[in-house]
Structure 1
Amino acid sequence: MTDIRQARSDDFFPWLTLYEGYASFYRRPLTDERSVQTWQWITNGEHGLRAFVVEGDDSDGSLVGLAHVRTIARPLEGTTGLYLDDLYIAERARGRGLATELLAFLRTLAASEGHSGVSWITAEDNETAQHVYDRVATRTTWVTYEMAATPAPAGTTGQQ
Structure 2
Amino acid sequence: MAHEIRMAGDDDFFGWLPLFAAYCEFYETELDDARALIVWNWIRDENDPLEAALAVDDEGTPVGLAQFRVVPDTLRATRGVFLGDLYVNEQARGGGVGRALIEFVHTRSLEVGSGGVSWITAADNADARRLYDTLARRTDWVMYEMGA
TM-score (norm 2): 0.95
Question: Which secondary structure state, in structure 2, belongs to the residue aligned with residue 72 of structure 1?
Answer: strand
Q: Kindly provide the amino acid, as one letter, of the partner of residue 86 in structure 1.
A: D
Structure 1 equivalent of residue 87 of structure 2: 88
Question: Which secondary structure state, in structure 2, belongs to the residue aligned with residue 148 of structure 1?
Answer: coil
**Aligned counterparts of 1:47 and 1:9: Cα–Cα separation in 2:** 15
Structure 1 equivalent of residue 64 of structure 2: 65
Q: Which runs of 5 or more residues in structure 1 are unaligned?
A: 150-160
CA RMSD between the two structures: 1.1
Question: Which secondary structure state, in structure 2, belongs to the residue aligned with residue 65 of structure 1?
Answer: strand
Query: Aligned runs of 1:1-160 on 2, under 5 Å?
Result: 1-57=2-58, 60-149=59-148
- Larger Rg computed on CA atoms: 1
**Aligned counterparts of 2:85 and 2:132: Cα–Cα separation in 1:** 13
The offset of 1:31, in angstroms, is 1.2
Question: Which secondary structure state, in structure 2, belongs to the residue aligned with residue 47 of structure 1?
Answer: coil
**Aligned counterparts of 1:31 and 1:77: Cα–Cα separation in 2:** 39
Q: Which runs of 5 or more residues in structure 2 are unaligned?
A: none
Which of the pair has the greater relative contact order for Cα pairs under 8 Å at 6+ separation? 2
Aligned pair count reads 147
Equivalent pair of 2:16/2:62 in contact (CA under 8 Å): yes
Equivalent pair of 2:7/2:52 in contact (CA under 8 Å): yes
Show CA shifts across 1:4-52 (max 9, x none): 1110111001100100010011111111111000000011134300010
The offset of 1:2, in angstroms, is 2.6
Quote the sequence identity (%).
44
Question: Which secondary structure state, in structure 1, belongs to the residue aligned with residue 48 of structure 2?
Answer: helix
Question: Which secondary structure state, in structure 1, belongs to the residue aligned with residue 118 of structure 2?
Answer: strand
**Aligned counterparts of 2:83 and 2:25: Cα–Cα separation in 1:** 18
**Aligned counterparts of 1:101 and 1:132: Cα–Cα separation in 2:** 11
TM-score (norm 1): 0.88
Q: Kindly provide the amino acid, as one letter, of the partner of residue 20 in structure 1.
A: A
Structure 1: 4+ residue segments shifted above 3 A: none
Equivalent pair of 1:82/1:115 in contact (CA under 8 Å): no
